[in-house]
Structure 1
Amino acid sequence: MSELSSGYRPGTVAVITAGNEIDGALQKRLQRAGLRTQLLAPSELEQLRPGSLVINASACADAQPEALQVARLLAQNPCAHVIHLSSYQVFAGGERRHYDEDEAAEPRARCGRQWLTCERALGGLDHLTILRFGWVVDSSRDALLGRVLHSFVTGEPIALDSCSSGNPVTALDLARVVVAVSQQLASGACASGIYHYGSSDSCTAMEFALEVVERARSFYDEERLVQLNPLEDSGKRRDRSVVLACGKLRDVFGIQQHSWRQGLTRQVELWLERLEAER
C-alpha cells in the first residue's frame, strides 16, 4: 500500500521486535490500520528504511541483552519518529497512589534500571514518544497466567504476591494502544513525551490468579483444588505497588483504558487446551 493511498506519512512503520507475542499482535493491528509494516530483529537495524516511524519493542523481550544497543543506534538514526515501549518498573513503587509521568523514575531493581537506561539512551531525540505499560499479561509458559493455569491443572502449589498492586495489560491491548498512537503520529500529530497506560482496574498477582482460576473452573464439571499461597507474610513484605495514572494518554491521544478482564476467558481456554494436550 502506498503512502498516497494510505493517507499516512510516513506510510511505513518499522517494529523492532521483542521476540514474543507482542510482535504478532503489533503486526496484525498495524496491517489492519493500513500501515505497511517492517519487522526487524534487534540485530537487523541496518535494514531500517530511512524516514520510518519506528516502534521499538526490543526492551519487552524476556531478556534484554540487546535493548540498550538498539536504543543507542536509534538515537543516531534519522527516523521520522520513535515510539519506545517501556515499563512501570522504572519506578521503585510501594506507595498506594497512581504514578503519573512527572514522577521521578528511581528504580531499585536491576530490571528497572535497565528499562530506565534504555529510555535515557533515546533522550536526545526530538521526535520521541515513550509509552510505559503496566505488567504485561502474555501466554509464555513462565508468565503469571501460564504458571497459575499449570498449578490449576497439576494441583501443584504456587506462591504469589498478595501485597503489591499494578494495572496489568494484555498483549492485545498493548498493541491497540501502540497502533492508535502510531496512527495519530503518522497523521501529523506532534505529541512527543512520556505517556502511561495500564488497565482500568488494578490488582495484585493473587487477585489476578483468583480471577483466572474462577474462569478455568467454568470449563470443568468437577471441583479442582488449587493451592494459591502468599509469597510471605504481608506484614513483613515490602509493598512494590505501581499503579500507573493514564490521564495524559487519554487527554492527548483520546485512548481509553480497557480492563485486563476483557478476553480473559478465551485466553484461559486456549491455555487449558494447550496444557491438557501436553499431559
Structure 2
Amino acid sequence: MSTTPEYSILVTGGQGQLATSLKIIGKERVVLVGRPSFDLADPETISATLERVRPSLVVNAAAWTAVDLAESNVEGARAANETGPAELARLCAAKGIPLIHVSTDYVYAGDKGAPYVETDPVTPQTVYGRTKAAGEQAVLEAQPKSIVLRTSWVYSGHCKNFVRTMVNAGAKNSHLKVVGDQYGNPTSADDLAKAILAIADQIQTSWKDKFAGLYHASGSGETSWHGLAVAALEEAVRHGQTMPLEVASIGTADWPTPAKRPQDSRLDCSKLERVFGIRLPDWRDGVARAVDEHFADKPA
C-alpha cells in the first residue's frame, strides 16, 4: 500500500510549538520549513519554497512572538508579522493555494469585559498586536482563499512555553508568584494542530467561499495565568514532583513588562464550530497531556 499523502501541507514556523505539533500529528503530509531556508523577512525564500514544495495548502505558523522585544524592534516584528505574511498570501493567491494564517488574541486591548467575537473591532496595545492585526488584514486582502485563526495562550509538552516554565520553576522553588488578574483561554498546540488539520481536510475536499475569513480558535474554558500555573503544577504532582508551598496570585502592576498584556482576552469560538464543526477540548485536558509529555522527555 502506498504511503504517499493525498495532499501536502506546507507549514512554516520551523521548530515552533504549533509547527512541531502539526508535523508530529500530520506526519508525511506536512512539510515543515523554517529559517534560514524559509524566512518571512526574505521574500526570495518564500517564493523559492513554494516552487520547491508545490503544496496543496499553506499553514503560516511563523511569527515574531517575542512580545516585549518587539517594542524595541518594530521593523523585525513588522517583517515577520505583516509584510512577510502579505507576500506569502500574494504568492499563494497567484498559485491558487489556500492559506491558513495563525494570529493572536493580542489584537484586542482586553477591556471588553466579555469574550471577543470576530466582528469586534481590533484595538491592539503593543507592537506585536499591531503588526499581527495588520498582517491579518493584509493576508485577507491578498488571498481570497485564506482563513485567519486567532488563538491564545498556546502551550505544549515541547518547546519553550508557560506550562513547562511553571513546572520547571516549581521543581526548584518553594514559593512562586504568578499574575492572577489577566484572563484568557489556554490552548494546547496539539489540539490547535488537530483543528487545523481537520479544517485542511474540509478545504481539500471542497473549498467553499464561506470558509474564508476570521475565526477564533482557542481551548475551551477560561482561567488566569495563576490558574494555569496551578493546574500545571498539580499535574506535575502526578509525576512525583512536590507542590510548592505557595503559589501566590499577584497583580499585573506587580509584574511590569515592556509590552502591555491584554487584561481579559477571552475568545468566543462559536463561529469555528458553526462553520467547520470544530470545538477545541477543555484546556485542562491539554495541560495534563502536555505535562505528561514534558516528563516523558526528561532523562530517567
Q: Verify same fold: TM over 0.5.
A: yes
Cα distance in 1 between the residues matched to 2:139 and 2:241 = 53
Letter aligned with residue 48 of structure 1: L
Q: CA deviation at 1:117?
A: 1.9
* Number of the residue aligned with 1:123: 140
Kept in 2, the 8 Å contact 1:58–1:70? The answer is no
Structure 1 match to 2:212: 192
For structure 1, the 5+ residue unaligned runs are none
User: Which residues in structure 2 correspond to 1:166-205 (within 5 Å)?
Assistant: 166-190=184-208, 191-205=211-225
Q: Give CA-to-partner distance per residue, 1:247-266, whole Å, 9 cap, x none.
A: 11101100023111114334
> What's the offset of the Cα at 1:267?
2.5
CA distance in 2, matches of 1:247, 1:233: 33
Indicate the RMSD between aligned Cα atoms, in angstroms.
Answer: 3.0
Task: Indicate the residue corresponding to 2:228 in structure 1.
Answer: 208
The structural deviation recorded for 1:238 is: 9.0
Kept in 2, the 8 Å contact 1:141–1:147? The answer is: no
Task: Measure, in 2, the Cα distance between the counterparts of 1:195 and 1:272.
Answer: 33
Alpha carbons 2:191, 2:286 under 8 Å: kept: no
Could you give the per-residue CA deviations for residues 131-189 of structure 1, whole angstroms, max 9, x where no partner exists?
Answer: 11121013467522122112211115433221121111111011011111111111113
- Tell me the distance in 1 between the aligned counterparts of 2:158 and 2:253: 28
**How big is each residue's C-alpha offset from its partner over 1:41-98, in whole Å with a ceiling of 9 and x where there is no partner?**
2334212145631111112755755343431321321242111011111111123211
Query: CA offset at residue 270 of structure 1?
Result: 4.1
Does structure 1 residue 252 correspond to structure 2 residue 275? yes
CA contact (8 A) 1:165 1:240 kept: yes
TM-score, length-scaled by structure 1: 0.83
Which residue of structure 1 lines up, in the alignment, with residue 80 of structure 2? Answer: 66
- Counterpart in 1 of 2:71? none
* Counterpart residue number, 2:49: 47
Output the amino acid matched with 1:55: V
| Change in 2 beyond 3 A, CA 1:241/1:196 | same
Deviation at 1:129, TM superposition (A): 0.7
Contact 2:157 2:291 in 1 (8 A): no
**Contact residue 17 and residue 156 of structure 2 kept, 8 A:** yes
Residues paired across the two proteins, number: 267
Q: Which runs of 5+ in 2 are unaligned?
A: 40-44, 68-76, 255-259
Q: Which residue of 2 aligns with 1:83?
A: 100
1:264 aligns with 2:287: yes
1:106 aligned onto 2:123: yes
Instruction: With the length of structure 2 as denominator, give the TM-score of the two structures.
Output: 0.78
In structure 2, relative to structure 1, the CA distance for the partners of 1:60 and 1:183 (3 Å cut) is farther
Query: Which protein is richer in helix relative to its size?
Result: 2
Is 1:13 matched up with 2:9? Answer: yes
1: CA distance between counterparts of 2:224 and 2:58?
A: 33
Indicate if the aligned counterparts of 2:106 and 2:262 stay in contact, CA closer than 8 A. no
Q: How many percent identity over aligned positions?
A: 23
Distance 1:30 1:225, change over 3 A: same
Q: Secondary structure at the match of 2:144?
A: coil
User: Which residue is equivalent to 1:38?
Assistant: 31
SS at match of 1:118: helix
Which deviates more from structure 2 when the two are superposed, residues 185-194 or residues 15-24? Answer: 15-24
One-letter amino acid of the structure 1 residue matched with residue 224 of structure 2: T
Q: Please tell me whether the aligned partners of residues 19 and 61 of structure 1 are also in contact (alpha carbons under 8 angstroms).
A: no
Letter in 2 for 1:250: E
